Amino acid sequence: MPLIQPLLDGVYPTVAYGDGVFLTDSEGRRYLDGCSGAVTAGLGHALQEIVDVMAEQARRVAFSYRLQFRNQPADDLAALLEELAPGDIRWTFFVNSGSEATETAQKMAIQYWREAGRPEKTVVLSRRLSYHGITLGALSMSGHRARRSLFEPLLTPNAVVVPPYCYRCPLGKTYPECNVACADDLQQNIDRLGAEQVAAFAMEPVIGAAGGAIVPPQGYFQRIREICDRNEVLLIADEVMTAMGRTGAMFAMEHWGVEPDLIALGKGLSAGYTPLAATLASDHLVQTIRAGSGAIMSGHTYSANPLSCAVGLAVVRYVQKHDLARRAATLGPTLGERLEGLRARHPIVGDVRGLGLLWGLELVADPVTRTPFPTNARVTARLVAAAQEQGLLIYPALAGAGEGTGDAVIVAPPLTIDEAELGLLGDLLDRSLTALEDTL
Ligand SMILES: Cc1ncc(COP(=O)(O)O)c(C=O)c1O
């Protein structure tokens, strides 16, 4: 068994093929993909239109190296992203994973300040509840204790800002009387370190893996933007999980009308058809570096390879052509209502939250006191397993109880899901919750 699996001795079915929102394993069991894998396969599986583009590009040229050639798919995809991206965001740097995208954003922020004559601005602040990726730079920004703890000596200690987590407000306040005090915690942390040290603040528009789809209240991001401007701190939006229609807009930050300086993309950018991610940067930032060293200090062998960029281009065009962002916005409330219905029926569902087709269910031992389950009860893993047994895939997440040790799952089906399939998803999740409750 030489393949290193997530759990070395775990038992996982072997996938055989996908069609639409379903995956089938080698034993012929069919699963409804209720979480698009890792909130990735936003167009569903084996879409002929994308497969054709992939084959055609592979026949032409799959790989060329960016120091030797530019290529049309990379140029076209960058141009399309410039058209779609908010505000002053104009430039794209292609990478291969969300971790590389957030880490590149971190590096670009630091490089920008150095070339702007402010080399002491090197700290990247982020939130206590966040996930920005698994490589060391991305992990440094991540407030995800389980994924950090082994490597803590190698990581920076700046994932400290409190999250906008109304179900368990870290400041013990209630919205809207709180006046989004959680956003002001960014100012307090900047003051603690000195604005002259702080290069950027990184955040997910909707907290995914570390929070189970926590959506901040209105006013939060507007305040964050003001604080960043006041302190000359760049705002990095980690849209790896949220962009390309998932939340009901091409970029989730559109919901708040707030423009970041850097955006990390991944997952939905190629919808799982190939590894592809990107860091998008504002014109101001890139022009400063252009006038200075003239090169972004980053890059990977596969950055901007023609095959991945052709697939990404086809995926983004498909999202546009079928207006999948609007579809997510339309279907989102239907899914939300169904999940709220499950909360009414299942006392272990403490909170239901989400945006578009990105939803989270927080699981609790007592819905009145919001008491979490003990960590060793492994409730998230048991619900995910119960769902898989029912033929439904859902995504395990943390929640905020005890600093990211509580239980949550994410429901985020492909944006192409239809109403009947959404109904089936609700039924299967209902049965999975009952199956779990029977064992508690
Ligand atoms: C918000 C966010 N950022 C970054 C990442 C890291 O992406 P990848 O796993 O592609 O490296 C993830 C992955 O789950 C994510 O959800």
- pLDDT tens for 345-364 read 999 999 999 999 999 999 99
Considering only CA atoms, which of 206, 40, 200 is closest in space to residue 107?
Answer: 200
Band (401; pLDDT cuts 50, 70, 90) = confident
Band (275; pLDDT cuts 50, 70, 90) = very high
- Residues contacting 61, CB < 8 A, separation 6+: 71, 306, 307
What value does the mean pLDDT take over residues 316-329? 98
- Residues contacting 342, CB < 8 A, separation 6+: 349, 352, 361, 426, 429, 430, 433
Q: What is the pLDDT of residue 183?
A: 98
What value does the mean pLDDT take over residues 326-353? 98
Residue-wise DSSP of 397-433: EEESTTTTTEEEEEE---TT--HHHHHHHHHHHHHHH
Per-residue pLDDT of 188-246, as tens digits, reads 999 999 999 999 999 999 999 999 999 999 999 999 999 999 999 999 999 999 999 99
Type and span of the H or E element at 81: helix 72-84
Gap between the Cα atoms of 48 and 417, Å rounded: 16
Question: Ligand 1 atom 4: the closest Cα is on which residue?
Answer: 132
Per-residue pLDDT of 88-117, as tens digits, reads 999 999 999 999 999 999 999 999 999 999
> Are 15-47+323-439 and 51-321 equal in CATH topology?
no
Domain ranges in the chain are 15-47+323-439, 51-321
Strands in 262-265's sheet, in edge-to-edge order, are: 89-95, 277-282, 262-265, 234-238, 198-203, 123-127, 159-161
CATH code at 15-47+323-439: 3.90.1150.10
Gap between the Cα atoms of 139 and 79, Å rounded: 30
Average pLDDT of the chain to the nearest whole number: 97
**β strands within 158-307, DSSP E:** 159-161, 198-203, 234-238, 262-265, 277-282
Please state, for a pLDDT cut of 90, what percent of the chain lies above it: 98
Residue-wise DSSP of 343-364: HHH-TTEEEEEEETTEEEEEE-
Which atom of ligand 1 is least distant from the CA of 242?
A: 1
What value does the mean pLDDT take over residues 407-434? 98
Band (431; pLDDT cuts 50, 70, 90) = very high
Gap between the Cα atoms of 43 and 163, Å rounded: 30
In our burial notation (b when 16+ CB lie closer than 10 A, e otherwise), range 139-171 reads bbbbbbbebbeeeeeebbebbbbbbbbbbbbbe
State both tokens at 397.
């997440």
Q: What is the pLDDT of residue 45?
A: 98
Per-residue pLDDT of 14-73, as tens digits, reads 999 999 999 999 999 999 999 999 999 999 999 999 999 999 999 999 999 999 999 999
Q: What is the pLDDT of residue 405?
A: 74
Is the full-model pTM beyond 0.85?
yes
- Answer yes or no: is pLDDT of 403 > 70: no
For the chain, helix, strand, coil in percent to 5 are 40, 20, 40
| φ, ψ at 20 (rounded to 5°) | 60, -130
Q: What is the pLDDT of residue 171?
A: 96
Residue with tokens 């790896």: 240
Please state, for a pLDDT cut of 70, what percent of the chain lies above it: 99
Band (400; pLDDT cuts 50, 70, 90) = confident
Question: Ligand 1 atom 9: the closest Cα is on which residue?
Answer: 98
Per-residue pLDDT of 280-308, as tens digits, reads 999 999 999 999 999 999 999 999 999 99
Residue with tokens 């009387």: 177
Q: Which of 36, 124, 132, 147 to mutate to test the pocket of ligand 1 (most atoms within 8 A of CB)?
A: 132
Q: What residues flank ligand 1, with Cβ below 6 Å?
A: 38, 97-99, 102, 131-134, 204, 208-209, 238, 240-241, 266
Q: Which of 95, 99, 265, 276 to mutate to test the pocket of ligand 1 (most atoms within 8 A of CB)?
A: 99
Gap between the Cα atoms of 166 and 160, Å rounded: 17
- Residues contacting 82, CB < 8 A, separation 6+: 89, 90, 91, 92
What value does the mean pLDDT take over residues 150-168? 97
Residue with tokens 């009414």: 344
State both tokens at 15.
């996938």
Which atom of ligand 1 is least distant from the CA of 135?
A: 11
What value does the mean pLDDT take over residues 396-413? 87
What value does the mean pLDDT take over residues 130-142? 98
Q: What is the pLDDT of residue 404?
A: 61
Strands 30-33 and 392-393, sheet pairing: parallel
Query: Which CATH code of 3.40.50.720, 3.40.640.10, 1.10.30.50, 3.40.630.10 fits the domain covering 51-321?
Result: 3.40.640.10
Which atom of ligand 1 is least distant from the CA of 133?
A: 6
Q: Which residues pair with 93 in a beta bridge?
A: 279
